[in-house]
């Protein structure tokens, strides 16, 4: 049996850890990818404050959990094959650390590994508004090979609930790694009624 592909999931201390929880829940349901999780110190606090979930419940969603200070962890080495890494949500502090190669813990080190190995690195950067420093750091990580994927809601799939919005974001993240899913309906063009109306008003 072929071993499952691996995906590294980092959770940093930005607001909206719900984004990471939904992604991990979705990956567990799919069962096609082995997840390796690392949670920053600040993320422990935001998870507690914003989700009300015990940190143990979030950790239990992953296949493997690594200590944030364990630089000897498997994901700290480029010799450990992974599909890539997503940091969700990604704080501006974490963006800055990655942009300047300041790997002061396992999360930025694992991200640095993905950049140097030319593996996909997706940063779900969450902050508003953005300062010039933030924007310059986002340009820097993009030039280095990362994908900046802000959690911007879309409405073309006619979401009815917050879970629909979270599902769309989780799906867009998984698309970056080529992971099959059915988390949101993909755009197939406008319905026939809209096409007919466009022809009538042309």
CA distances from 144 to 137, 150, 179 (A): 11, 17, 23
Please give the backbone phi and psi of residue 7, each rounded to the nearest 5 degrees, phi first: -130, 130
Residue 93, marked binder: yes
In DSSP terms, which residues pair with 35 in a beta bridge? Answer: 7
Residue 77, marked binder: no
Residue 170, marked binder: no
Residue 94, marked binder: yes
Residue 92, marked binder: yes
Q: Scanning the structure block, which residue is given the tokens 């110190």?
A: 41
Residue 85, marked binder: no
Instruction: Count the neighbouring beta carbons within 10 Å of the beta carbon of residue 84.
Output: 21
Residue 40, marked binder: yes
Q: β-strand 33-39 against 147-148: which pairing, if any?
A: unpaired
Going by the annotation, the residues of the binding site for dimethylallyl phosphate are 156, 172
Going by the annotation, the residues of the binding site for FMN are 13-15, 40, 91-94, 126
Going by the annotation, the residues of the binding site are 13-15, 40, 91-94, 126, 156, 172
């Amino acid at each position: 049996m072929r071993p499952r592909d691996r995906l590294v999931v980092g959770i940093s201390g930005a607001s909206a850890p719900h984004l990471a929880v939904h992604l991990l829940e979705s990956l567990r349901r799919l069962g096609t990818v082995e997840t390796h999780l690392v949670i920053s110190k600040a993320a422990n606090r935001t998870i507690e404050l914003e989700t009300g979930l015990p940190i143990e419940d979030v950790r239990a969603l992953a296949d493997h959990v690594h200590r944030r200070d364990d630089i000897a962890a498997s994901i700290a080495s480029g010799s450990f094959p992974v599909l890539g890494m997503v940091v969700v949500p990604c704080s501006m502090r974490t963006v800055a650390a990655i942009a300047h190669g300041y790997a002061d813990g396992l999360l930025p080190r694992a991200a640095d590994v993905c950049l140097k190995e030319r593996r996909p690195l997706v940063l779900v950067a969450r902050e508003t508004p953005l300062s010039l420093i933030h924007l310059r750091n986002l340009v820097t990580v993009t030039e280095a090979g990362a994908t900046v994927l802000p959690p911007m809601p879309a409405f073309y799939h006619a979401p009815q609930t917050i879970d629909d919005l979270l599902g769309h974001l989780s799906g867009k993240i998984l698309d970056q790694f080529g992971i099959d899913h059915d988390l949101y309906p993909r755009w197939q063009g406008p319905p026939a009624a809209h096409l007919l109306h466009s022809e009538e008003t042309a």
